[in-house]
Structure 1
């Protein structure tokens, strides 16, 4: 059987010998965990220097080579198969290659999901391809949503055990799993937003090679590492702003001033909020500052979804700190009280120039029975347009128990081409966009039940589920008068 062991409280994980077939001495020995380095060509790109390679050039006809490398159609076809990190370098070759890369950025807009599942070695974990992705990350990312349990966030292991291979020549050191994901998906950009929660959901599309790793709710194997997420490519005219609030004393500078500047030239389309329990230890009343988003654009609706999580990571420095703490055999806790992602579009261009929308729906505590859940998702589905590309974040209360699978199945039926990823916590934030119309309860008992399910301060819920739907590209099925 697959097994793990943890040292102290940091959940440093070692893999069972039978599954990985490496020496026991390698498991028992604890070497220093080191930061992964970027590939040489990417490092040279960042440092703006030439890269000398000790390789023999291939012999080929120079005239043919010139025709191939200068033909726009051929170049574009070749470059279309490269990962986005390599495209960064290709833009510097010449104007033809730069034009090809820029054209591909507008065409290769498909999201992709990824997973590292060490909970279920029979599904392909345990060193037989730890990192799996549904497709190639072909365009520069706008944002990478990542969710991991505590064991996954603090997982590290010998270099030569990792798959895919991390170092050109496997070193004798250990590497951190979240660092692996960062290098493959996010680096050298800094747009990965990670939430730590021991209850996760991951529902890829059925035809993908990651579908076998689907997670719907908490399992009794959750002490083993699991990380999953969704990569969203850069979308024309769509911006992302990440705000971290580390102190309530700096709320004006960290939030109000940023929002004021951001909304001078942009519209907020949607907000994803992660709140740590450190923030809500003082008072739930502190969450009311989120209403300022409504103040700055009172006539333009936006989506909002959030969840109470254990911790957040929003930059590479946090990953460096995790590695340092692993070497010190200590815990890592970021200083983030609250982290949010704001998606924006320019004010002064027509919506046809970006084809990007966000919507959110709250299934509250009173909608506990299966027919009510189905009705809420059906109503949302009937009022939300379909896009060529889409993802959904599910941010839910762990206390809804087996309702999780019902909700996900109904949402998958309504949006069959939309992958779902998210986490569970003990408090949710949400706004219904489009607004939901509900009939008034007919009996006093029903009214009391409805009043109990109302949100705190308009955005904070309990025992609820929030779905955030993000769609872009061509609109395949318009629904209702929702576009501004």
Structure 2
């Protein structure tokens, strides 16, 4: 015959099993519920090893976890990588998939793909709803000091960490309409006739009034765009932009979640990314067909370095003409990217080879004095914030 004490203990076990509460059995049939509280410092150590999606889930557990997870995400560095497209995208769920290296919460993703790499359908599913990803398809890609001039299956990508003090606005045009994507405003404005500069200027003017303190512009155009209508003719750029970078792509795509939260990928003719914020700093320059030697490229980048003051999140961009590279330097590989990394060893570099480059020299009193679009050139830009 069991004692009342033993009966109560058994009943407690049944009740706790129903509620799935872990219990610990001690001597004399005593049962206790363990109350283990992870300290702030222990959580910091654990969370430092988690991916961004796991940290995002952790913010919903309790206030302590939310505080630690948000702090950890705040200080995550930007992601720059150079891989082949099958490793990065083709096997969703595999260890090599790009989402398994997604350690930060990105606000903007730039994917430079080889000419045979179509943007993956799963891309937007792994990025936050507020994040916009841009895919630039060309014959070659650049990652740090590697210049893959003819690369059909290479992918170089950069994921810029979210920062509440940074504002990003994207103006993109499809074949039938143009839209303006306001970061964090969940608002999309659309107008027709995107080929006409006269229709573009009012929308850009509106963006300039809203953003006010614009630090840089990234601009890409597709080869299908009517390049007789030059975007650089827009006076609003000349009066408000101090740093600019970009180029012409064989194909150009943009991906973001729609109003229902479903990621959508669109083929666009051109897009302009305007970045503003108190803590944002940006500088750009270029070398053209008059810069035929390594010494002239080094001189231009050293002049750029004299202006640069790096902050927490920093990335370098490079867009080179397909005519430059190995043939330009007598068979020598990776010349310009190697020079950049020599002068800026701590700045990750990413970019593409294309047939038309955009850039200005930000150190000039009149940055647009040399124009925005170039041929046989390489354009550079450094973006830093945080």
* Cα drift, residue 145 of structure 1: 1.1
1:179 equivalent to 2:121? Answer yes
Q: Is the counterpart of residue 151 in structure 1 residue 91 in structure 2?
A: no
1:226 to 129, 143, 154: 154
**Which structure features the higher share of strand residues?**
2
Match of 1:268 among 214, 217, 225: 214
Per-residue CA distance 1:116-160 (angstroms, 9 max, x = gap): 3269x9xxx999965469x95333112111111132217xxxxxx
- Return closer, same or farther for 1:314/1:259 CA change in 2, 3 Å cut-off: farther
1:305 lines up with 2:234 in the alignment: no
CA distance in 1 between counterparts of 2:276 and 2:112 reads 23
- The answer on whether the counterparts of 1:147 and 1:227 sit within 8 Å (CA) in structure 2 is yes
Q: TM-score, normalized by length of structure 2? A: 0.74
The partner residue of 2:269 within 334, 337, 359 is 337
Contact 1:240 1:342 in 2 (8 A): yes
String of CA shifts for 1:72-125, please: whole Å, max 9, x gaps.
3333443333222222222222222222233223322x1122343269x9xxx9
Counting matched residue pairs gives: 330
Query: Where does residue 415 of structure 1 map in the other structure?
Result: 344
Instruction: Write the distance in 1 (CA, Å) between the matches of 2:50 and 2:137.
Output: 31
The change in CA–CA distance for 1:130 and 1:114 in structure 2 (over 3 A counts) is same
Q: CA deviation at 1:233?
A: 0.7
Task: Give the aligned partner of residue 360 of structure 2.
Answer: 431
Quote the residue 1:137 is aligned against. 102
Instruction: Give the whole-Å Cα distance in 1 for the aligned partners of 2:217 and 2:334.
Output: 25
Give the counterpart of 1:245 among 163, 173, 179: 173
User: Equivalents in 2 of 1:411, 1:462: separation in Å?
Assistant: 20
What SS is found at the alignment partner of 1:67?
A: coil
* Contact persistence 1:243–1:254 (CA under 8 A): no
TM-score under structure 1 length normalisation? 0.60
Distance in 1 between the 2:138 and 2:23 partners?
54
Distance (Å, rounded) in 1 between the aligned partners of 2:162 and 2:124 = 17
Q: Identify unmatched segments of 5+ residues in structure 1.
A: 1-55, 155-177, 204-213, 323-333, 346-350, 438-453, 474-484
Q: Map Cα deviations across residues 420-446 of structure 1 (whole Å, 9 max, x no partner).
A: 111111111111112289xxxxxxxxx
The question of 1:192 aligning with 2:133 is answered yes
Match of 1:217 among 138, 141, 148: 148
1:139 is paired with a residue of what secondary structure?
A: coil
Structure 1: how far apart are the matches of 2:159 and 2:34? Answer: 37
- Judged with a 3 Å threshold, the aligned counterparts in structure 2 of structure 1 residues 118 and 195 are, in CA distance, closer, same or farther, namely closer
Runs of 4 or more consecutive aligned structure 1 residues displaced over 4 Å after TM superposition: 60-66, 125-130, 180-184, 250-255, 316-322
CA distance in structure 1 between the aligned counterparts of 2:23 and 2:341, rounded to whole angstroms: 51
The match for 1:379 among 303, 311, 317 is: 303
In the alignment, which residue of structure 1 is the partner of 2:40? 72
Provide closer, same or farther for how the CA distance between residues 321 and 180 of structure 1 changes in structure 2, counting only shifts above 3 A: closer
Q: Post-superposition shift, 1:183?
A: 4.2
Change (3 A) 1:117 1:179: same
Query: 1:257 Cα shift?
Result: 2.7
> 1:202 is matched with which residue?
143
SS in 1 for 2:215: strand
Q: Which of 111, 114, 121 is the aligned partner of 2:78?
A: 111
More helix by share: 1
TM-superposed CA distance for 1:181, in Å, is 4.7
Q: Is the 8 A contact 1:359 1:433 kept in 2?
A: yes
Deviation for aligned residue 1:244: 0.5
Between the aligned partners of 2:35 and 2:273, the Cα distance in structure 1 is 45
Shift of residue 259, structure 1, vs aligned partner: 4.1
Higher-Rg structure is 2
| In structure 2, C-alpha distance between the alignment counterparts of 1:310 and 1:367, rounded to whole Å | 26
The 8 Å contact of residues 116 and 132 in structure 1, kept in 2 or not, is answered as no
Distance in 2 of aligned mates of 1:412 and 1:436: 27
**What is the alpha-carbon distance in structure 1 between the residues aligned to residue 287 and residue 166 of structure 2?**
28
